[in-house]
Amino acid sequence: MADVPESSSFRNVPPKKAKITSDPVRQDTGSKTQEPSAPVFTRKLRKAAVGAGCDIRLRVSVSGHPKPVLTWYHNDQLLPPSEAQESGGLWIRDCRTTDAGLYTCLATNELGEASCSAVLAVMDLGEDSLANRRQNNS
């Protein structure tokens, strides 16, 4: 008879525990995702270097509710929205030396704003540059 009460109580305990643990978790998760918050960069811009003629993507990740709007600047000049390919980054195609400089991403929503900046270096690695290096090293 000792075996029967143990198995009976074992059968009754898990459903009670499941109800207790699952309901509050669902409620907490729902309230956290809808809680308004100012933008925060979870991945900031990092300095980078790229060869002339190459493509590069400057990446960021931003949290906030409502979803922040990203605005990009190059050397304090506003970039047209068409250059920002997606919410997580800025694609710069066929880089030229004029693309080098300070890039800033500004994230805004109705609760505030956040920004991060980084320098992009563009190196001219063309045949002329390589020929000059070889002559200087000889």
pLDDT in tens, the chain (138 residues): 555 544 444 444 444 333 333 333 333 344 455 699 999 999 999 999 999 999 999 999 999 999 999 999 999 999 988 755 566 889 999 999 999 999 999 999 999 999 999 999 999 877 555 444 445 555
pLDDT of residue 34: 62
> Which of 7, 104, 3, 92 lies closest to 50 in space, CA to CA?
92
Answer whether residue 134 is part of any domain.
no
Are 49 and 74 contained in the same domain?
A: yes
pLDDT of residue 12: 43
Task: Report how far Cα 42 is from the mean position of its chain's Cα atoms.
Answer: 6
Are 101 and 119 contained in the same domain?
A: yes
Are 30 and 41 contained in the same domain?
A: no
pLDDT of residue 19: 32
Answer whether residue 84 is part of any domain.
yes
pLDDT of residue 136: 52
Are 18 and 76 contained in the same domain?
A: no
pLDDT of residue 84: 52
| Residue 106 belongs to domain spanning | 37-127
pLDDT of residue 81: 80
- Count how many domains the chain has: 2
Answer whether residue 133 is part of any domain.
no
Answer whether residue 136 is part of any domain.
no
Are 23 and 43 contained in the same domain?
A: no
Burial class (CB in 10 A: 0-12, 13-18, 19+), 68: buried
Taking the C-alpha atoms of residue 62 and residue 70, their distance in angstroms, rounded to an integer, is 9
* pTM of the complete model beyond 0.85: no
Are 53 and 11 contained in the same domain?
A: no
* Contact predicate 118/47, CB 8 Å: yes
Are 19 and 49 contained in the same domain?
A: no
